[in-house]
Amino acid sequence: MTSQTADGGRAPSMQDVARLAGVSLGTVSHALNKPEKVSARSLQKVLAAVEQLGFVPNSAARSLAAGSSSTVGLVLTDIDNSLFVDIARGAEDEARTSGHALLLANSDVDFKRQESYLDIFDEARVAGILFTPLNASLEGVDRVRRHGRRIVLVNYAGGRQDCCAVLSDEEYGGYMAARHLLELGRRRLLFAGGPEEFHAVKERRNGALRAVMEAGNATLEIISSRRLKSDEGRKIAAEVTGRPADRVPDGILSPSDRIAAGVIHELMARGLRVPEDVAVIGYDNNHFATEVAISMSTVAQDGHKMGAEAINLLLDEIRNPRHEHRILTLKPRLIPRESTLGPSGRPVPEEDGRLPLEA
């Protein structure tokens, strides 16, 4: 246990370990990487020397010599949105079971940062990259792929078919949300907020539209907004409640939980009852969705699974020489809670404090 301080400055190398253990360099490497290829005696000598010197393998040297690394890079859009947190966790859990470490980079919704992190992982010759791209040019994807880097897109793929991707069926999510409101008897629906340029927003809106069309006797009004934050929801709610009673929507769906939260609070502040007067449903199942005044109904994308599946696709691409690119589209799930069901939708907290994700 007596690791010694960096004596002489230089950290101990495998060569030092070999010397101390009285074996060759190659044997040390074998002992450390494929112990079964080495006699018990050598193994033990090596391990003892490693311990005594406090040897730490140099992963730069390793990946240079081996020509590859075992870490996987994940470039995230926005660490502040719990969907991405879930994706990161799912990826991390899955990567870990196969002995890969997951390093994160947060582009913070900034295109230049996003590209720069892609390059960093590219330069580091990581085993592969998981990438949740902004709704923008996917040139970075081409760039790193040209260098032979493996990459899996998550959450958005801009229609690309030439690499693996894990997506969420946004249209269906919007459909479910609207359908849910319709089934509760709501007829004057409002799709509240979101910039139409966002692929996800547009798809969700399309889905909602489809549900309303199918129903026949209902309407869908659309009010868009520049961003997806809660104050946009407040503004929209303020606007619609100022109308004559027969033009106030009785069901509001929003492409983000944040907007929905704003809507709910503003409605309540203006004396409307949720869901009796207006039912509200959000999207994303953000972790705060149960911290609002009344727990929010929402559409959940299983971020954890998205991350895990993305890792699986990546691993197949790494290990399977006959790998073929696949696009996985996961179905989101409806999670009705109080904001559409009323008190009966009150979730029962589980022992670990997380909420059951089943509808």
Partner DNA sequence: GAATCCAGATGAAGCGCTTCAATTTAGCAA
Partner DNA sequence: TTGCTAAATTGAAGCGCTTCATCTGGATTC
CB of 213 to DNA, least distance (A): 57
Residues found near a copy of itself in the complex (CB under 8 A):
3, 5-6, 9, 11, 54, 56-61, 63-64, 69, 71, 79-80, 82, 85, 88-89, 92, 96, 101-106, 108, 113, 116-117, 119-120, 122-125, 143, 146-148, 227, 229-232, 258, 261-262, 265, 268, 287-288, 290-294, 349, 353
Task: From 236, 241, 233, 339, select the one nearest 281 (Cα to Cα).
Answer: 339
312 interface partner picked from DNA, a copy of itself, none, CB below 5 to 8 A per type: none
SS (H, E, C) the chain: CCCCCCCCCCCCCHHHHHHHHCCCHHHHHHHHHCHHHCCHHHHHHHHHHHHHHCCCCCHHHHHHHHCCCCEEEEEECCCCCHHHHHHHHHHHHHHHHCCCEEEEEECCCCHHHHHHHHHHHHHCCCCEEEECCCCCCCHHHHHHHHCCCCEEEECCCCCCCCCCEEEECHHHHHHHHHHHHHHCCCCEEEEECCCCCCHHHHHHHHHHHHHHHHHCCCEEEEECCCCCCHHHHHHHHHHHHCCCHHHCCCEEECCCHHHHHHHHHHHHHCCCCCCCCCEEECCCCCHHHHCCCCCCEEEECCHHHHHHHHHHHHHHHHHCCCCCCCEEEECCEEECCHHHHHHHHCCCCCCCCCCCCCC
Residue 30 interacts with DNA (CB under 7 A): yes or no: yes
Instruction: Choose among a copy of itself, DNA, none what residue 39 binds, the Cβ cut-off being 5 to 8 Å by kind.
Output: DNA
Q: How many residues bind DNA (CB under 7 A)?
A: 28
Which lies closer to DNA via its Cβ, residue 15 or residue 137?
15
3, 48, 51, 66: which one binds DNA (CB under 7 A): 66
* Among the residue ranges 56-64, 218-226, 323-331, 334-342, the one whose residues contact DNA (CB under 7 A): 56-64
Residues 6 or more apart whose Cβ sits within 8 Å of residue 234:
262, 263, 265, 266
Q: Which is nearer to DNA, 50 or 292 (CB)?
A: 50
CB 64 to DNA: min, Å: 4
Q: Nearest approach, Cβ of 11 to DNA (angstroms)?
A: 6
DSSP lists the bridge partners of residue 297 as 281
38 binds DNA (CB under 7 A): yes
User: Which of 19, 47, 52, 57 is the binder for DNA (CB under 7 A)?
Assistant: 57
Q: Pull the structure tokens for residue 197.
A: 């340029």
What does 266 interact with, of a copy of itself, DNA, none (CB < 5 to 8 A by kind)?
Answer: none
Beta bridge partners of 152: 130
| Residue among 188 and 258 whose Cβ is closer to a copy of itself | 258
The CB density around residue 248, as the number of other CB atoms within 10 Å, is 17
Which of 196/291 has CB closer to a copy of itself? 291
Q: What are the residues facing 18 on neighbouring strands?
A: none
Measured distance CA(260)–CA(210) in Å, rounded: 21
Q: Which amino acid is at 358?
A: E
Indicate which single residue of 8, 67, 99, 271 sits in contact with DNA (rule: CB under 7 A).
Answer: 67
Asked if residue 61 binds DNA (CB under 7 A), the reply is yes
**Nearer to DNA among residue 30 and residue 100 (C-beta):** 30
24 binds DNA (CB under 7 A): yes
C-beta of 151: minimal distance to DNA in Å? 20
**Using rule CB under 7 A, residue 27 touches DNA:** yes
CB of 275 to DNA, least distance (A): 60
Tell whether residue 33 is a contact of DNA (CB under 7 A): yes
Nearer to a copy of itself, 256 or 312 (CB): 256
CB of 39 to DNA, least distance (A): 3
Residues near DNA (CB under 7 A) are 10-11, 13-15, 23-27, 29-30, 32-33, 37-39, 41-42, 55, 57-58, 61-62, 64-67
